[in-house]
Amino acid sequence: MDQRLQTVYSGQGAAGSLSAQRNRVLRNTYWLLALSLVPTVLGAWVGVSTGIVAAMGNGMAAIVFLVGAFGLMFAIEKTKDSAAGVGVLLAFTFFMGLMLSRLLAMVLGFSNGAQLVMLAFGGTAGVFLAVASLATVIKRDLSNMGKFLFVGVILLLVAGLVNLFVQSSALMMTLSVIAIGLFSAFMLYDIKRVIDGGETNYITATLAIYLDLYNIFQNLLALLGIFGGDRE
């Protein structure tokens, strides 16, 4: 009987330790995610103030974005198990804020631009709170969602590239709406992975959720600029 009780207690202790580890990863992820907003805002401010991204032109800006973003994400992957990974992640978020400055400058050119930016920020924060809350109550395993969401992102990128040549406003708005829904679902998937123990590195988890939020904010801001921008 004593041996049985010892086995039960041992199992309970292991489960408690695993739960504590998952909570720690989730807590660190949220803290680092909040911290990542600081260099993002700083990068956006530098970009808007200097106009450096707008001066590049569409083609060069696209090349710089692809090389910079994927290069820094590769560096994050290589350093994710060390303290240097936090620094590289924050450098990445500064870069992403810088690349967002072109859209921000366009929206801020409206007389109600500041209100639109704050509305987009509030809307993105609302989506995050709703999705994070939903992730804590869903008991179903969402691991199979990953492959379908990845395919959706690839199709979205292809459609976006096509629209560079087509220049269709209707298609751009449609893609923005789809992107908001797609990355909201991706955020649910990414947060649930941390909660379920599928992701144990908080730097990698932060990167994934940050990209979800970034894309939601960017597309929401674009839609608000199209429908709510006031030039008077």
Res 6: pLDDT: 53
**pLDDT averaged per 10 residues in sequence order, the chain, 232 residues:** 51 62 89 95 94 83 89 94 93 96 91 91 95 89 83 87 77 90 93 88 94 95 84 64
Q: Is the Cα dihedral 64, 69, 72, 74 positive or negative?
A: negative
Q: Is the Cα dihedral 49, 87, 185, 58 positive or negative?
A: positive
Res 232: pLDDT: 60
Hunting for tokens 């987009």 — which residue is that?
A: 120
Q: Are 212 and 186 in contact (CB under 8 A)?
A: yes
For helices 113-137 and 169-196, give the axis angle rounded to 10 degrees: 40
Res 31: pLDDT: 95
Res 226: pLDDT: 84
Q: Are 69 and 95 in contact (CB under 8 A)?
A: yes
Res 213: pLDDT: 96
Hunting for tokens 């072109």 — which residue is that?
A: 102
Hunting for tokens 């789809």 — which residue is that?
A: 178
CA dist 146 → 19, 26, 166, 171, 182 (Å): 23, 19, 30, 25, 11
Res 143: pLDDT: 79
Res 5: pLDDT: 46
